[in-house]
Amino acid sequence: MPEIDHFLFAGSDLTLLSDIVRNHGLRAVTGGRHLDHGTHNALIGLESGCYLELIAPDPAGDPEGPRRKVIQGLATPQLLGWCLRVRGADAFARRAEELGLSAKVVAGERSTATGKLLRWQAIGVTGHGFGGVLPSFLDWLDTPHPTAELAAQARLIALTLEHPDPQGLHDLLAALAGSPGVLPIKGVSCTKAQTPGLRARFATPGGEFELRGGGAT
């Protein structure tokens, strides 16, 4: 079954994002640079083997990077998206195609602050109409997961997916997870809303806080 891999909290400046989460008692650890996207990041370990990724344009990065352009279009820092971890990118892509969607496997990599190279395969799923409320999908291949070097500082309480068609969203996500009709991802629910959006609530030693966003396409 897919598991939550990470959440993307995005904004124009990585220091600003770090300051926001520090107000909730969380200290971000320097991650690395995404040379193909023109961004850089910092990470916060969460319980259950997932993490919160703070991501912003890299001042020294490619100004034409696709994700950089998306982030630069944000008016304020927000929850940009979430990601499910899968095993076997090609098999997952075939499952998506069997559901009538389009799927493309794209290789990615970044160097960590300590010089380690992380490699993965991202599966882009399109043709569903749910935009960025639907998660992205990632296979870490033989690379150690980033949480192997992160202490868990917080816990996900709940992730709420908001959409005008919550049942359709629920059913598609369940089918992609290989469990038609039942959403097997702990803490995730779909609710009806006029505007698509994401709400993730976390528990920390100092209390609870919530991140919101529209989800990027």
pLDDT at residue number 57: 95
- Residue 137 domain-assigned (yes or no): yes
Parallel, antiparallel, or unpaired: how do β-strands 50-57 and 3-10 relate? parallel
Our count of domains for the chain comes to: 1
3-state secondary structure of 160: strand
- Residue 122 domain-assigned (yes or no): yes
- Residue 113 domain-assigned (yes or no): yes
pLDDT tens, per residue, the chain with 217 residues? 679 999 999 999 999 999 999 999 999 999 888 877 899 999 999 999 999 999 999 998 888 888 888 899 899 999 999 999 999 999 999 999 999 999 999 998 887 777 888 899 999 999 999 999 999 999 999 998 999 889 999 999 999 999 999 999 999 999 999 888 888 898 999 999 999 999 999 999 999 999 999 876 5
- Residue 174 domain-assigned (yes or no): no
- Residue 202 domain-assigned (yes or no): no
State the pTM of this model: 0.93
3-state secondary structure of 11: coil
Q: CA dist 87 to 84, 92, 124, 139, 140, Å?
A: 10, 8, 15, 6, 8
CB 174 within 8 A of CB 128: no
- The predicted-structure confidence for 49-86, as pLDDT tens digits, reads as follows 999 999 999 998 888 888 888 899 899 999 999 999 99
pLDDT at residue number 217: 52
- Residue 196 domain-assigned (yes or no): no
- Residue 7 domain-assigned (yes or no): yes
Q: CA dist 51 to 63, 82, 209, Å?
A: 26, 10, 15
Q: What is the CATH number of the domain that holds 33?
A: 3.10.180.10
Q: CA dist 70 to 56, 65, 109, 172, 217, Å?
A: 10, 9, 19, 25, 9
Range of the domain at 19: 3-153
- Residue 215 domain-assigned (yes or no): no
pLDDT at residue number 32: 85
Sign of CA dihedral 57, 27, 185, 188: negative
CB 47 within 8 A of CB 150: no
Provide the residue count of the chain: 217
